[in-house]
Amino acid sequence: MALVEKFRSTMELTGRSVLLWSLLGRLPHAMCSIGSLLLVTENTGSVWRGSAATGALAIGLGIGGPLVGRLADRRGQRQVGLTAAAVNTVAILALVLASEQDAPIGWQIAPAALIGLSAPLVGPLSRSRWIRLADGKPELTSSMMSLDGIVDEISFTTGPALVGLLATLVDPAAGLLLAAALVGVCATLFALHPSAPPGTGTRRTRSAEPLLTTPYVLLLAGMALLGAFFGSVQVGVTASTEALGQPGAAGLLYGFLGFTSAFAGVATAALPARLGLPLRLRAGTALLFAGSLLLLFAGGTMAALTAAIGCVGVAIAPQMITMFGLVERTVPAGRLGEAMAALVSSITLAQSAGTLASGWAAERYGPGAPFRVTALAAGAALLLAALTATDRRYRRRAAATAPAVELEPAGT
């Protein structure tokens, strides 16, 4: 009951509608990568061309994410969010049109890159928004991050499933068209919500408070290792299920991974405050590493692989929630949006690298080889956390005064 009350008080503070716009507005982030891969591959007949478009999207997100976050901090989430949503919608439609018209591959890669560059970043901006609303209260911040983690897991698992279902039943372009509609409507409504903070509007404040402090750089490194972990798990599951003669089970396993992760995200909110974030980070990476070791020996049967994936999922959401929570302690209050966006860029780029490395390993050494990359990434994350995640390093910054916002009435 205490956990239910925590989430209820969190929703009363934010308003229910903004949580809905946050969920639906971040679905396209999970849909566009796989959607562009399926669409371009189908229309060109080349997996390589599809991968090139998807890679351009990832690179665009890695470059554009921090820029959009920085602009949102300076000029306000409303103005930047509305502009990004409009440009992103046009970019998605341009990719669909170019691909359906069988345009040269360069004309398909260009809008794919623009999709990444102009992503509205509903996920990162919502986290910075919730942290501002929590106003430095540790328990409320933890509840908000847990609730946001659940929303992230729902989008992470639902987005690709929607794209795959629409590609099978309708057309490969249908998933991207739905993503364009969601960006145009839901990301816009998220940006227009009264909880959107105004920008700082000053260069002098930003230059006086550097973003790349040692604790924040360590969080970027940890998030990158988590991205490599994700990429290698994805390839490993795909290769292992194919080797077991059940390639269609890969999607189900991804869904199960998201389910166990979301469940663990809910449980994170129930942890007592005395278990500080640095301790949770060390414990989470230890659990992540243990799960990766299980994967090394789980490729022989579907049951063993499913059990190992479930154990891995239990570690993911608490790990991400903890790292996003630590950002609040390590960066200036006026640069939260930029900091959150850079973390997402870090995990996205590293996931692409992990996918490439694991694909090469699977082709050369067999279907279980990607899980060696998984264990290596998890082991490096554990070593990093064990050596650096201390209360002294991540002590809470002095509270900064956040601009007041007028929220919608509770229950709307």
For residue 22, is it within any domain?
yes
Whether the Cβ atoms of residue 21 and residue 189 lie closer than 8 Å to each other: yes
**Through-space distance between the first and last CA atoms of the chain, rounded to whole angstroms:** 23
For residue 169, is it within any domain?
yes
Domain at 67, CATH number: 1.20.1250
For residue 344, is it within any domain?
yes
Residues 189 and 296 in one domain: no
312-350: string of b/e by CB count within 10 Å (b at 16+)?
A: bbbbbbbbbbbbbbbbbbbbbbbbbbbbbbbbbbbbbbb
Residues 167 and 284 in one domain: no
For residue 7, is it within any domain?
no
Paired tokens of 20:
């809905």
Question: 90, 83, 84: which is closest to 110 by C-alpha?
Answer: 90
Residues 229 and 89 in one domain: no
Residues 281 and 173 in one domain: no
pLDDT score recorded for residue 89: 96
Question: 230, 239, 257, 260: which is closest to 374 by C-alpha?
Answer: 230
Residues 195 and 338 in one domain: no
How many CB atoms are closer than 10 A to CB 411? Answer: 9
Residue 243 CA to chain centroid, in angstroms? 29
User: Longest C-alpha distance within the chain, in Å?
Assistant: 60
Domain at 214, CATH number: 1.20.1250.20
Question: 331, 384, 381, 341: which is closest to 212 by C-alpha?
Answer: 331
5-22: string of b/e by CB count within 10 Å (b at 16+)?
A: ebbeebbebbbeebbebb
Locate all alpha helices (DSSP H) within 135-248, ordered by sequence.
138-169, 172-182, 188-192, 203-208, 214-243
Paired tokens of 359:
């694909």
pTM above 0.85, yes or no: no
For residue 160, is it within any domain?
yes
Residues 165 and 85 in one domain: yes
pLDDT score recorded for residue 87: 95
pLDDT score recorded for residue 96: 94
Residues 190 and 213 in one domain: no
Q: What's the domain range around 89? A: 15-136+156-201
Whether the Cβ atoms of residue 183 and residue 88 lie closer than 8 Å to each other: yes
From CA 235, how far away is CA 359, in angstroms rounded? 6
pLDDT score recorded for residue 286: 92
Residues 243 and 175 in one domain: no
Residues 228 and 335 in one domain: yes
The low-confidence residues of the chain, meaning pLDDT below 70, are 1-15, 47-48, 51, 136, 138-139, 142, 153, 157, 199-210, 247-248, 250-251, 269-270, 272-273, 299, 333, 396-412
pLDDT score recorded for residue 407: 40
Contacts of 109 (CB under 8 A, 6+ apart): 52, 53, 56
For residue 390, is it within any domain?
yes
pLDDT score recorded for residue 261: 80
Which of 201, 230, 254 corresponds to the end of one domain?
201
Residues 191 and 213 in one domain: no
Residues 299 and 392 in one domain: yes
101-131: string of b/e by CB count within 10 Å (b at 16+)?
A: eebebeebbbbbbbbbbbbbbbbbbbbbbbb
Whether the Cβ atoms of residue 179 and residue 96 lie closer than 8 Å to each other: no
pLDDT score recorded for residue 30: 79
How many independent structural domains does the chain possess? 2
pLDDT score recorded for residue 201: 62
pLDDT score recorded for residue 206: 45
For residue 131, is it within any domain?
yes
Residues 160 and 227 in one domain: no
CA distances in angstroms from 92 to 28, 86, 104, 228, 353, listed in the order given: 10, 10, 17, 26, 24
